[in-house]
Each structure stands twice: as C-alpha cells, then as structure tokens.
Structure 1
Amino acid sequence: MADQMVRLYLTRFESVFRILHIPSFWNEYERYWSDPTEAETVLQLKIQLVTAIGTSIIRQDTVDTTDIYSTARQGLYATQEWLSGPMKKNRISIDSLQVQCLLILARQALAAGGDIVWISMGTVVRTAMQMGLHRDPKHFTRMGILQGEIRRRLWATILELNVQAALDAGVPPTLSFDDFDTEAPSNVNDQDMDEQTKALQEHPPTAATDSSLQRFLFRSLRPRLEVARRMNGLTSRPSEMSMSYNELIALTASLTSTCRSCDAHIPRTHSASSDMASFHHNLADLLLRRFILHLHRPLAGRARTDPRYYFSRKTSLDAALAILSPIPKNAEFAHLVLLGAGIFKHRMIHASLAVASELLMEVEEHRPVGFHSPSQEPSGYRKMLMEALREALRQAAERIRLGETNVKLHMKLRMALRQTEVAGENSSSLQQLAESAKESLETSYAMIQERATSEGVEINNESGRDRGMSADFDLDDFDPESFTLGSNFNFNLDDLFFLPAEFDMDGVAAP
C-alpha cells in the first residue's frame, strides 16, 4: 500500500511541486524499509507525508478510505508536532525544508488545516531565506550540481505555494522579484544528475523533462504575483493602487496565453499514461487560471449597470466554467479537488459563485415585462448556465459527503438555482428561497449525520456540539427547524452573490 501511495505522489504531484530528487528519495525509501527502527525522524516524516499525499487521490472503489485518511492525517499531526518542538540547528536543513513543503501540500490535499496554510508559509519562506535559497547556487562555488538544483527546485516550489496561499488568504504576497535572484531550475531529468555529477547537460528549452512543468509555472510567476498584489494590497492613497483597464487586460492576456500553452510543457514518455498527463494539465491549469477568476470576478457584477465591464463578466465566467469542469477529465484530480482544502476548496467557492452570479444577471436582464407576463422558455444560454450550476451544486454536495462541514455554499447555490427555475412565476420569491434553503440544509444535515455515523462520531443535538468533527462544525449554521430568512421582504440575492462595493477594485479605471 505504501509503495502504491508513494508512486501516486511521485507521478502526479512531483512534476508540479518539485520537492524531492526522485532517485535519491527512492534510495532513502528502500533504506527505510530495510530497517525502519534505525531511520532518522526526518526521513520517517518525509515518507509519511509523501504517502499521505498519495492517499488523497486513491480510488475509493478499490479500498475503504476511512481508515486510510485517518492514518494519513495522524502523520500530518506528528509532523506538525515535530516542527513545533525545540528549535535545533539540524532543523535548518534541506531535509527539514522538504518536510515543511510536503506538510503544506498535504494539509491542503487532505483538508487538515489547509485553509490557513498562509500562516505556516511565513515560516517556510523565512527558513528558506535563512538557508540562502533566495540566492542562486552560482554564488556558492563549493556547492555540488545536485545540491544546487535541489535548492532551485525547492525555492520555485516555495514561491508557488506562497503566491497561492496569499491569494486565498486575501493578503499581499510576502515576496517580490526584488527579494531573490535564484534562477529557474535547469531543464533536466532527475536521472541526469547525482552526487557525482560535475557538469550538467541541459535539454533544449522546448524539450519536456521532469522539470519543464515547474519551469513553465516559474516563468508565469511575475503576472500572478502582480494579480495577488493588486487584489490584496492596501495603500494609504487609492491612486497608488490604481490600474487602468488596459493594464488589467494585459495581465489577463498574459495569463490566458500561459494557460493555452500549458500542455506543451507536460512530460510524456513511453511509460507516461494519459491519466498522468491529464492530472498534470488539470493541476497546472488550476494554479494559473484561478488568478484570472480572482482578477475579474469583483468587476463582473459591474456589468449589470455598466456594459464597459462586459469583458470582465465574460472572462470571469469562462474561467469559472473551465475550473469547475476541467478538460481533459481526470478522475484522480476530480477527487482531489472535492476532498482538499486551501487551493482546492477556494477553487470551488469562487468558480461556483461566479456561475451563480452570471445566471442571476441573465435572469434579471431577461425578466418578463409586467407582473402577470407568462414565463418564457429558457434560452440555450440560460440552460447551459443552469447545467453548470447543477454541476457546482453536485460538487458542493460531494464535498460535504467527503467531510466538509461548512454547508453555506451548498445553500447559496440551491437558492440561486431555485430563483432561476421560478423566474416569471407569480409565487412569492421569498417563500421559494426559504423553501430551497431549508431543503439544502436538510440534505446537508443528513449527509453529515451519515458520515458521522460511519466514522463512529456522536452528534449531540441538545448541546449543539459534536465529538470528533471539524471545529467549524456548528449545528446553528444549518438546523432546518430554526432556519428563517426573517421578515425583511427587501431580501434579495445580491447579498449572497454580488461582491459589495468595498471588495471591488476601486482603483481599476473603466476602459
């Protein structure tokens, strides 16, 4: 089982997040199994984390995952405890840094504190800079070829994890291109170098290697850092953060072009299956495309009153649809984004709400004239949006079935779908929304109860507390019996789906 999980990690995640030198890791892995009791703690933790990440994409129809996920998360907690222990000099090492990066990825893949990894990323970044990873290995003349390449790869991975975490946390990135001079990893395969390598023979820039996908993401880092800085930065004077619409379009064009060329940088060998290639494509595309969605979603709602923002409206929807239903389809990736937190959870929230917002705008723009006007047959465009929203609702429900305890997204999407389905009818819109919300809460409550029962968790309805579930779990959030929309008949879905003015990019000038 461990062998299978390790192979899943190495063949799926390692091409995007370069943390390990694969031949060296296999040597360590074999040495560990030859005598586990004598292995160093850092090696044990490294193997536990690699195995844990592999479990996040294991097929559920082949094995009972309940115990496997529980065991994997125990490895994460053990690692966190080790990292929180007394600081010693031997903790400042490449092995320790690899453990920290693996832990950040594992927490998101297995939804174990994955929504707050930005806090931990501060420690990772500072540890790496303390070790000098922000300076290119060419400055260290005594450093070996293999060691230098591992440092370049680790630094590129840290930059990737950092910008993704900053985007999700709503804070500016902690690094800029002025803070480091480390170059992109060399375009080589892992088997091309070892401890004895004296000179590196790089492949042509266009050749796909074990490092080409990470090199590709590294080249796109500058525009993504700029998006995160523009979206999340604070300034004393709004004019300092202003960005013309032409600048916004230029950023979008750069990221869109990068997404289109992603496939060319995915390594394909005679042994690489289509599943591997599609997983790599889906994961890399998500890491890129979500920045387009974050950039344009706050502006898309402005198109309701200002048609000059139609570009943002269309771009936001296109990015959301591509994120919700990535092509090519990959079952392993689909499971990962439904199970995971952080990158994988926020992808779901922003994409689904963007689709719901567009659908509500479409309904508003084509609302029948007159209170008693008969309802019209939905257009092909509206039907397409409704199907996309139903898919988002299905994914939200599946996330709850897999352990998500925040049910508000599912409720919002159900309400938006009901609002669309009853458009033009004479029944009370508020009553329809209340019924759809209650149905959603009942469905979510039943799924959480079923999962709690299967895991032997007791939910105490009287005290409103639970034993063994997420700290975010709160019965008051979804108790169907106590749910009410109140008596405010001015209630509308703008409060749920359209970003308030203070979240808009006020510095962005109209075209």
Structure 2
Amino acid sequence: MKHRIKQLEQALSLANAKPTTAACEPGADSHSTTSFLAGTFHVQHEGRLFGSADVTSRSVMHKSRLFGRSHWINGVVLWFKEVFETIEPLALMENSKAFATMRKCKSLARVVKARRTPPWPLEPTPDLPPKEVADDLVNRYLETLETVFRVLHIPTFKRDYAAVWEPGAKPDPAFLVQLKLVLAIGATSHDTTFSLRPLALRWIYEAHTWMSPPEFKRKYTVQSLQTYILLILAREFVGVDEGSLWVTLGMLIRAAMYMGLHRDPSYLPKRSLFAAEMRRRLWNTVIELAAWTSLNLGGPPFLSPEDFDTQPPGNFDDDQLNSENPTPKPGDHFTQSSVAIALRESFPARMAILKFLNELASTGEYEEALRLDSKLRNAYKTLGHSLRVRNSDKGNGPPEFAARMTDVMMNRYFLSLHVPFFSPQFSQMSFAFSRKVVGESSLRIWYALIQPGSHARALEPSVVPENPWELEDNLKRLTICASGAFRMTAKYASLLIAAELKMQLREDDSLSRPPLRRDLLAIVQDTKGWTKRAIEAGETNIKGYIFATMVNIELDCIIQGVEKNELAQRLIKAVEEAEEVCLSTLENMLSAGQPEGAVDGGIEHMTLATPPDLMEMEDWDFSLLDTQFNVLGSPEPTAWVFGAPQELPRW
C-alpha cells in the first residue's frame, strides 16, 4: 500500500511539472515558405485557442535566427504567403528578368556597402566636421532621442563640447569618442539624403575600436556606460549590425548590474544627488532599451521588475542637478526627465507583454492577452494624462518628437499583443477586438511616424506639399534615412493596414465594387513612395520597396476581381519594373563615389582649430586589438565593453 502511494505521488509530481517544459507543444505545427525575394522562412504554428482549429504563428526561423511573436515577421508571414507563392514560379522561369535583376541589385548593394564600410580596427582621430555642422548634429540628437532615452547630463556635455573648440584645446579622447557617437546619431536627421552617412559609419567604427582594448585598460564608470549606450543607439539608427542589438543589450544589462545600477543609490554608499540621479537615469534607459530590442527583435526580455529596485529618475531639469540641494519639481510640472518618468510607470505592463509573447513557457492564451491589454491600456491612459497635465496651463509640455515617439512605442506593444490573433485563418467573432486594436494602433503609428503624407492627403488633398518626404521633420527623416526600429515599425503598420483591407475585400459578398476607406488605401499607396525614397537616401536593401509594390498590385487586383493567373502576370511585371528602378538608383549610388571618401582617410574640411601636436597626445594610445568587428570575438565576454575612460570625480 505504501509503495502504491509513493508511485501515485511520483506520478502526480511528474504531471504537475510537465506544463512548464511542454508549454509550446500542444497543437504545434510548422511549414516553410521560400521566396526569391527573401529566402526561406520556417514558421511554427499553434492551434490551441479555445480548443479551436484557428492557428497562430509561434515563431519564425530565418537563416540562423529565431524570431519570437513580437517580431514583425510573425504578423505578416501568414497574410502575404499567398502573394509570394503566386509569383514564385514566374520569377524563377528562364525568361524572367525578376530573379536576374534581383541578383544584380544585391551584387551592387554589396559593393556599395563594402565601399562605405571603414576598415577595422579604425583608430580614433580628433577630426570633427565644421563647427556649424557639428552644432546642428548635436542639437538634433538632443532634440530627438535624448528627450526620451536620457543618457547625458546636458549642461556638462555642452560645457565639454564648447571646450573642444577653444583655441589650443586638447580634448579628452574619451569625450571625443562620446561626442562622435552623438554626431553620428544626429547625422541621421541632418538632411533628407543622409549625406553624412560615411562619416557616421566611421565615427561608430572609431568608437568600437576605442572600446575594444584588452581588459587591463577597462574601467566601469558612468561615462563609459553612457558611451556604450550611445554606441548601441548609433548602431541602431545608422545601421551597423542593428539586427544583433538584442544580444548586445544582454551585455549592457550585465555591465550595468555589475556597476550596481540595478540597486537604488539609497542602498549603496552615499553619493551626491547628481551622481545618484545620473545612475537612476542610466538604469532607466538601460531597461527601456532592453524592452525595446526585445519587442522589435522578438527575443525574451531576460529582465523583470523583480530584478531591480532602482527608483525612477527624480523630476529634475538638468540644470537643477548643478545646485547644492535641489528639490524635485512637482509632479504636474514638466521637466527634461518627465517623459522617462512617465514611460517608467508603464514598464511592468510592457514587460509582462514581452514575457507573454517571447518566453518559451508562455501559454499564449487569448484570455491572458485580453488581461494584459487591459493593464497596458490603463498604463497608456495614465501616461498620456501624465504628459498632458504637466504644466499644461503654461504651455510647457513634452517636445513633439518625444510625444510622437512615446505614442509609437506604446502602440507597438498593442500591435504585438494582438497581431497573433489577427490572422487570415481566424474567422471567429471572438477575435474581433484584436482586429480592431490592430487597425487602430497601425493608424496611430503611421500618422505619428509619417504624419503629413497619407493622413493629410486622405482628409484634404490640397494641403499636401508637392514632395511630402522633403519636409523638415526629425521623426519622419529617421524613418527615411535611419535604419532600425522606426522604419521597420512604419512598414509593419502599413502591411497590417494592407492586411485589413484584404480581409475587408474577402468578406464582402456584394456584386458591386466594395467601398474602402480612403485613409487606409492612401497609406498603402504612400508606402511605395516612402520605401523608394529611403533607397534614394542611401538604403541598399530594396526588399521593402519591392514588397510594397507587390502589396499594391495585389490589392488592386482583388478590388478588380482579377483571376489568379492574371494576378501573377501583373505581379511579375510590376516587380520587374520596380527592380529596374532600384537597379538604376543603386548604379547612381555607386557612380556618385561618395562612399570612397569614407574609407581612405582623406576626408576634407575635417580639422579642429587646435594645434597640430594634438595628434601626439599620450592619451591617444589605443592598444588596438587585431580582431574582426564582432563584439562576440572578444577574449572575455565583457572585456571589450569599456575602454580607458577618464575618471570623473563627481560620478
């Protein structure tokens, strides 16, 4: 009897342990989709929602990378699989120009990128652009990303920046590296063509070289952490291996924890208020970047609110921290930290969504998604109310860039949470709410990022300028000139809007042409011009433009009731024409010869008003590593992170 009881207890123990390890197993299935345009995608499905036959994408494997459910590819792979399958046979036929022209475009793109890429390692130099250009780049950084991701103490940075231009100055090399990363980020919105791209790439490579000496040169300081964060942001927006930033953020989190930033300064040895606030700001930025990369690249967050006790930054303006005993401003008073503080309040809700979407043990059940939606919606309302009421009576509120960027970030979470339940195979009314949320969030994202284009044209065509892509708008310029999350989020939103239009057309059973919303159609049409403009600004990846062309043709054919064979012919013709446009643009890009100047060191007009002996400063001893430009190739996991910073007594 005792033996039997023991057997039953063991069986019960095993039964209770199974759900955690096998959470992703029920209803799991997979298929592969291959396209001449994008290669092969392996899609894992699940069909366990309410015990129904409806399936959702669990993850997508592409080349050697696995993307979780928050990655954009999971949201569109099921919607546009048919269009690739329709065109694929024709694209691979011997007389088709599509495949051959695509290969030419890829070959040209590789040459352009190779000419742009600086050598590695690249020893940093004190060269800077002319002061008026540098001033503009610094201001653009401070007016954009710094308003949301607090990294610098602006008065200190401006003081050191002004000192660089003093006659006979010998700037601190560590500060010059930091400054060049600020310039690289600012260059992405400097103009509508990203004319400073070669220099921005060079500055990033110099920073990587500076931060890659052997361990004996390494120190963990606030300045080093600031530089590391700026390097991550610069890589994201300039487009230097931005696809691996989720991996890099793991190193950043551990470095910050090693420095104790995850503990509130009140639990650590006593420091000045300035030092304590800078640590709180930096930790806040670290966790925001960790969440942002997890969301966009589809990796588990590997971080939770239980992993730290650091409080949000205080409601201080930067210049207050220079005072003896400053007092935080009231909660309804807007400061340079207000956006970061408001975002922090929503962090637990956003982190719960990332775990739900990307962690292996997540059940992915719809009831849980609705519960998380409710929490995020409350946090979103609180955030909006918080930013609106702060000193609203005096007209002092968040900068337009910060307000729009925050709106994009929050709506990106709504998209990722509901897209798994927005599928062409989901026919139940049970998921109508998710469909509504996806549509609304996509519109908000598009209008925030590409504001004057489709929105204005849909409502009042006469107010749209002749070329809306040339407008002076930092956020829109980032979607055209910069790489990374903003551009991809805009593409994601436009593709989901196209998916909504496809669903409306398929659901319509009337005999006449179905009415479609002008604003939705305008967005899909504008996407083609916007992606083409990005290529003209120096983007070498033409897939976005080709895909936008295909989506427009498919929608037109569905509206007109075109048969499948005719659809395939129209698609292949449109793709071939679009490829010719891209080929011509890439040839012009190559013949322009701009990239060559970035790799031979002969950059003109790039000297400081400082004595020639500046280059002979003893501090410029970098002990370069003979390694590839790959942070994972370092001799010790974090040895490359912090290189020879100058000690700052205040921090």
Provide TM-score, normalisation by structure 2.
0.63
- 2-structure distance, mates of 1:47, 1:270: 34
Shift of 1:268: 8.2
Alignment of 1:75-90 (within 5 A): 75-88=203-216, 90=218
Alignment of 1:96-115 (within 5 A): 96-115=224-243
1:210 aligns with 2:336: yes
Q: Which moved more, 1:330-339 or 1:246-255?
A: 246-255
- 1-structure distance, mates of 2:392, 2:154: 17
Q: Is the 8 A contact 2:478 2:487 kept in 1?
A: no
2:400 maps to 278
Q: Which moved more, 1:252-261 or 1:157-166?
A: 252-261
SS in 2 for 1:291: helix
Listed one character per residue, the Cα deviations across residues 166-185 of structure 1 (whole Å, up to 9, x for unaligned) are 11221111211111000000
- 1-structure distance, mates of 2:592, 2:368: 54
2:537 maps to 402
Q: Which moved more, 1:434-443 or 1:240-249?
A: 240-249
How many aligned residue pairs are there?
443
2:179 maps to 47
Match of 2:146 among 2, 7, 14: 14
Alignment of 1:225-240 (within 5 A): 225-235=351-361, 239=363
Q: Which residue identity lines up with residue 474 of structure 2 in the other structure?
A: E
Q: Is the 8 A contact 2:535 2:585 kept in 1?
A: yes
1:250 aligns with 2:374: yes
Q: Is the 8 A contact 2:281 2:313 kept in 1?
A: yes
Match of 2:589 among 416, 434, 451: 451
Q: Is the 8 A contact 1:304 1:361 kept in 2?
A: no
- 2-structure distance, mates of 1:117, 1:18: 19
SS in 2 for 1:422: helix
Does the C-alpha gap of structure 1 residues 283 and 200 become closer, same or farther in structure 2, counting only changes over 3 Å? same
Q: Is the 8 A contact 2:342 2:387 kept in 1?
A: no
1:340 aligns with 2:340: no
1:58 maps to 190
1:503 maps to none
Shift of 1:200: 3.1
Shift of 1:234: 0.7
- 2-structure distance, mates of 1:14, 1:154: 12
1:147 maps to 275
Name the Cα RMSD after superposition.
Answer: 2.8
Shift of 1:366: 1.8
Shift of 1:282: 1.5
Listed one character per residue, the Cα deviations across residues 44-76 of structure 1 (whole Å, up to 9, x for unaligned) are 11111112222222234xxx852x221122111
Listed one character per residue, the Cα deviations across residues 286-321 of structure 1 (whole Å, up to 9, x for unaligned) are 222211111112211257511221111111111111
Shift of 1:367: 5.3
Shift of 1:368: 5.4
Q: Is the 8 A contact 2:373 2:414 kept in 1?
A: no
Does the C-alpha gap of structure 1 residues 390 and 88 become closer, same or farther in structure 2, counting only changes over 3 Å? farther
1:170 aligns with 2:298: yes
- 2-structure distance, mates of 1:351, 1:250: 21
Q: Is the 8 A contact 2:148 2:402 kept in 1?
A: yes
Shift of 1:101: 0.7
Alignment of 1:431-510 (within 5 A): 431-455=569-593
Q: Which residue identity lines up with residue 277 of structure 1 in the other structure?
A: P
Q: Which is greater in Rg?
A: 2
Q: Is the 8 A contact 1:303 1:309 kept in 2?
A: no
- 1-structure distance, mates of 2:200, 2:393: 31
2:469 maps to none
- 2-structure distance, mates of 1:119, 1:289: 24
- 1-structure distance, mates of 2:491, 2:297: 13
Alignment of 1:213-224 (within 5 A): 213-224=339-350
- 1-structure distance, mates of 2:173, 2:392: 35
1:331 aligns with 2:473: yes
SS in 2 for 1:99: helix
Shift of 1:346: 2.4
2:494 maps to 352
Q: Which moved more, 1:344-353 or 1:97-106?
A: 344-353
Shift of 1:144: 0.7
Q: Which residue identity lines up with residue 392 of structure 1 in the other structure?
A: T
- 1-structure distance, mates of 2:252, 2:262: 12
- Name which structure has the greater RCO, CA cutoff 8 Å, separation 6+: 2
Does the C-alpha gap of structure 1 residues 247 and 142 become closer, same or farther in structure 2, counting only changes over 3 Å? same
1:5 maps to 137
Q: Is the 8 A contact 2:508 2:514 kept in 1?
A: no
Does the C-alpha gap of structure 1 residues 69 and 241 become closer, same or farther in structure 2, counting only changes over 3 Å? same
Listed one character per residue, the Cα deviations across residues 330-371 of structure 1 (whole Å, up to 9, x for unaligned) are 7111001222222223212321221121111112112556xx
1:305 aligns with 2:431: no
Shift of 1:230: 1.1
Q: Which residue identity lines up with residue 412 of structure 1 in the other structure?
A: F
Q: Is the 8 A contact 1:356 1:416 kept in 2?
A: yes
Gaps of 5+ in 1: 370-375, 459-466, 469-511
Gaps of 5+ in 2: 1-132, 453-471, 601-651
